[in-house]
A and B are shown apart, each in its own frame.
Chain A
């Protein structure tokens, strides 16, 4: 065999197999630690299985689901999840539109303002929740102190269902609004100014231009943000867990006032070690998230230009 032959063969071998070698690490690691657990959850959800009895896994069909649908704690958690979804997603999108619209002017020190807007998003959920939990504290919290100044009195934020939901929603909105605002801003900058100039000549006021031109042209980004916010907000866990840390952490308050489905999953899986039941919760949560995201999609799709 000549040297040239050998080079050609090596070359063929190289172009044929090298690509697989390059993508293999991803698929190997993701397959084992990402995809497999995801699919295996379905199987575990059909079993009676607990950590405390490792070899005692037994197939029980849909029993976990049957128990789940009759479980008042699950429905309580589902209600809380939907309430928090509403309280977070809608303000997030509206605030973000408003902020993006402010940033979409000729603003001096715009880098400073853009960084300020996104600052909450780079902070950790654990730190943020702990900080906000103190701000919302009953006795020495800054927010109650502020309410007191206006004669609004003290609120025991953690104790009530509505008040705790408002407090948790505040943290989520605080942390994520800037992210959506920057996404909206990027698209706003692509809108040609001539559209606004024409509208001004037609006598359209600023807010009319905003609702009739800006918002409809941003429809794809609004749909995107709604879906992203929905998938995130339907599985809130760290915020309710850390809002009232201590013995009542996994139950989301002494009376499960703010236990989300994700937190209930955590409680069943990692305080009660009931893996089968917990997996069933995971599956139902996934399905609920898809349904709610679909609903959000249908609503935001209706935004229209005249």
Chain B
């Protein structure tokens, strides 16, 4: 599901940022900190707990009182996950799927966003309206015909079936369009045209370099969304050729409830987005606070 208000604005001058800080309001008292720490603990605990379990032996789980600190068995549990399921294949599939989708969404969104923001053509407003309207419709509703198409093409069970429908998003196009509207002055493009630049060269030399900050945020969110996607891969893939998320489903549905094994896999599935999150947390928070993104 996607929803849009605005992509990140081009960075405000230092003065404006100083003013925003002064507007930030009253100083926090001890109760505010107590509340925030409770929220932080609540947010982090399930992820932390999953890490604790995945570093313990299976019998540590049903001990009373429960173990709350990590143990030393993480790597042997990871090895068990890779022995029990084809997790290597799942990881490879997820990387290929998310990587391809990210690259394609960023590329096509930048192209179309540039056209909608800065080029004049007949039907532009109608087409843009179509994009905005389709954003609101959950594509899952079309899952039955989509599955029928994939079987018809012989793609069912293969990762193309996951990749191809994700190659473009309405959200991406709209997001980049909003950014270009503000980031590139029309005069710059007109000057380029006077110098004899074709549209493609304008795109390549003017639009693309200017698009970098927004494209990075879009890429970040697209990757996380594609990595975490569950429903469509579950429908169209088979357990023998999974993504990380559908492999989790297979593992959790097994007859033996080896919590350690399942939660180690869940931890492994979370690690890539967690790494991105730790590296780019500030951009992610900024992207959401500008109202831009919904996974």
Contacts and interface: CB of A to CB of B under 8 A. Distances in A.
Whether chain B is bound by chain A comes out as yes
Interface stretch (A73-81, A159-167, A186-194, A298-306): A186-194
Contacts of A25: 108, 111-112, 168
A36 interface: yes
Interface stretch (A27-35, A83-91, A251-259): A27-35
Interface string B50-63: 10010000000110
Interface in A259-300: 262, 265-266, 269-270, 275, 278-279, 282-283, 285-286, 289
Interface stretch (B31-39, B80-88, B208-216): B31-39
B72 interface: no
A23 B253 contact: no
Nearest to A200: B26
Contacts of A39: 142
A70 interface: no
Nearest to B243: A126
* Chain A interface bracket (under 10, 10 to 19, 20 to 34, 35 or more): 35 or more
Contacts of B36: 102-103, 107, 113
A120 interface: yes
Most buried by B among A14, A38, A120: A38
B221 to A, nearest CB: 9
Contacts of B231: 237-238
B225 to A, nearest CB: 10
Contacts of B145: 36-38, 40-41, 44, 279
A215 interface: no
Contact of A27 (B3, B127, B164): B127
Contacts of A249: 253
15 contacts: A18-B115, A18-B119, A19-B115, A22-B111, A33-B165, A37-B145, A37-B149, A38-B145, A122-B284, A123-B274, A130-B263, A134-B259, A135-B46, A286-B137, A286-B141
Interface of B: 1, 3, 5, 20, 23-28, 32-33, 35-36, 39-40, 42-44, 46-47, 49-50, 53, 61-62, 64-66, 108-109, 111-112, 114-116, 119-121, 124, 127, 131, 134, 136-149, 151, 164-165, 167-168, 170, 173, 196, 198-200, 203, 224, 227-228, 230-231, 235, 245-246, 248-249, 252-253, 255, 259, 262-263, 266-267, 269-270, 273-274, 276-277, 281-282, 284-285, 288-291, 294-295
Interface of A: 7, 10-11, 14-16, 18-20, 22-23, 25-27, 29-30, 33-41, 44, 51, 98-99, 102-108, 111-128, 130-135, 137, 139-140, 142, 145, 174, 178-179, 182-183, 185-186, 188-190, 192-193, 196, 224, 228, 231-232, 235, 237-238, 241-242, 245-246, 249, 262, 265-266, 269-270, 275, 278-279, 282-283, 285-286, 289
